Amino acid sequence: MRVGVLTGGGDCPGLNAVIRAVVRKGVNTHGFEFVGFRDGWRGPLEGFTMPLGIEQCRGILPRGGTILGSSRTNPFATDDGPERIEANLAAAGVDALVAIGGEDTLGVATRLAERGVAVVGVPKTIDNDLSGTDFTFGFDTAVNIATEAIDRLHTTAESHHRVLVVEVMGRHAGWIALHSGIAGGASAVLIPEVPFDIGKVCEHVETRFRSEYAPIIVVSEGAVPADGSGMSLQSGEKDAFGHVRLGGIGDRLAGEIERRTGKEARAVVLGHIQRGGTPTAFDRWLATRFGLQAIDAVADGETGVMVALRGTTVIRVPLAEGTDELKVVSPEEYAEAQVFFG
């Protein structure tokens, strides 16, 4: 059997660990051959491939990024996209595809599976917003990077008696903000799921200064003020899946805090640092187990599924289960963290 592998959407630490596990088990246990598709769905769409075997996977376990490259190409945005993919898979002699991606990449995989393409999905994203799985790989690394940043910001904020606002990624889900904010002892965590009250945020700032500490406010890039002033956008630009590029809320918030409290406030945008570099041990472990289970699903002829973590077990669920609905922070889980605000 010849299996194609691709990585799509925003990259995240652990992609190479999945590729390595898929290939190692595929070759050694199942006797499969592989072909790498470059740059997400652009690979099968344009017949853009690279050799993929044990050789190409040597030494990649701890490496961030993806040896296959990635893109946000949406084949369904092109008239004959799906047909071209089917033709290119047939031309490359590919019997099944392992698609490693988030909501968008796996959304495409779901639609191709409905057309009869044999595809198995592997859920990745630093945002951790895919339903069907307890965790996606990449998230733990992003949270650790954000937590380390918060730890460092505490000491400099205290030296200068400043407010530091830390803007983290996560798109429409506040998981990175919530987990790193709890781990880093933030004075407030603002998430997209719950519009924030700027007056309350300023109260938390004042309270923290009264206790001789400097406040750290963690804000998710998709967080919005409750007064309905709208989402803060870096630009109106949209990607091929229709997502607007977020960013800028950290600066706006720091300006507003400074104006209202009279305390100096600065913003730090962590940005792509959260997505780059080496994966944590947890992400390497999860990515490896996802890869092993994905290639076993191919060997079992069980396609149209996505691998998923439930507790400590990796299971297979229908692809649509992972992409139908975004997994966001519940009001209860957010309320739990609020005891530490201020």
Of residues 163, 246, 294, 307, which one binds ligand F6P by CB under 6 A? 246
Does 192 bind ligand F6P (CB under 6 A)? Our answer is no
Contact (Cβ atoms closer than 8 angstroms) between residue 191 and residue 220: yes
In the bound state with ligand F6P, the residue whose beta carbon lies nearer, of 174 and 184, is 174
The answer to whether 127 contacts ligand F6P (rule: CB under 6 A) is yes
Considering the complex, state which of residue 245 and residue 260 has its C-beta at the smaller distance from ligand F6P.
Answer: 245
Q: What are the helix and strand counts (H, E) for the chain? A: 11, 13
Nearest partner of 139 among 165, 168, 110, judged by Cα:
168
In the set 104, 127, 283, 296, the catalytic residue is 127
Closest CA to 11 of 272, 323, 222, 290: 272
Task: Find the binding residues for ligand F6P in span 202-221 (CB under 6 A).
Answer: 221
Active site residue 197: no
How big is the site for ligand F6P, counted in residues (CB under 6 A)? 12
CA pseudo-torsion sign 107, 110, 114, 119: positive
Do residues 104 and 298 lie in contact, with contact meaning Cβ atoms separated by under 8 Å? no
> 35 exposed, middle or buried (CB, 10 Å; 0-12, 13-18, 19+)?
buried
- Residue 24 interacts with ligand F6P (CB under 6 A): yes or no: no
Of 159-178, which residues contact ligand F6P (CB under 6 A)?
169-171
- The residue within the footprint of ligand F6P, chosen from 7, 71, 88, 125 (CB under 6 A), is 125
Q: Which helix (H) or strand (E) is 81 found in, with range?
A: helix 81-91
* Cβ distance to ligand F6P smaller for residue 165 or 177: 177
Q: Which residues does the annotation mark as catalytic? A: 127
Interface positions with ligand F6P (CB under 6 A): 10, 102, 125-127, 169-171, 221, 245-246, 275
